[in-house]
Amino acid sequence: MSFVAPSSLVPSLSLSPPTPLAPTASSPLFGLPGGPELVVLLLLFVLILGVPALVFVLVYRFVAGRTNYEERISQLEREVASLQRTVAEMEASPDRAPDDAEESPDTASEE
């Protein structure tokens, strides 16, 4: 006597291709073929170039803010104004002695 298994327990051998594990996208992202790949490339571009550039700009602004350019510019503007007044005084009174004319504005203000 031979034993025959029911057909529901025996897998059928067919030559059809296997079904995919994940469903394929039927519509590309934003109507572009390869849309998800483009999004991944954009994210990589931002991470590789954008983040270091942002860090560089922030560090540069922090360092530049600590150098007190505004204070130095104000000091130089005051010095230029003082020198212009000295030159104007020298031109207005030609009878001044040459020794007085060569005196620097810094030493004149100290007296």
pLDDT given at position 77: 96
pLDDT given at position 68: 75
Total number of domains constituting the chain: 1
64 within domain boundaries? yes
Question: Does pTM surpass 0.85?
Answer: no
27 within domain boundaries? no
7 within domain boundaries? no
83 within domain boundaries? yes
Q: What's the domain range around 82?
A: 35-91
15 within domain boundaries? no
DSSP reduced 3-state for 111: coil
Q: What is the mean pLDDT of each run of 10 residues along the chain (111 residues)?
A: 61 63 57 83 92 92 78 92 94 70 54 44
Q: Are 103 and 97 in contact (CB under 8 A)?
A: no
What is the C-alpha separation between 29 and 59, in angstroms, rounded? 37
51 within domain boundaries? yes
pLDDT given at position 1: 61
pLDDT given at position 54: 93
4 within domain boundaries? no
25 within domain boundaries? no
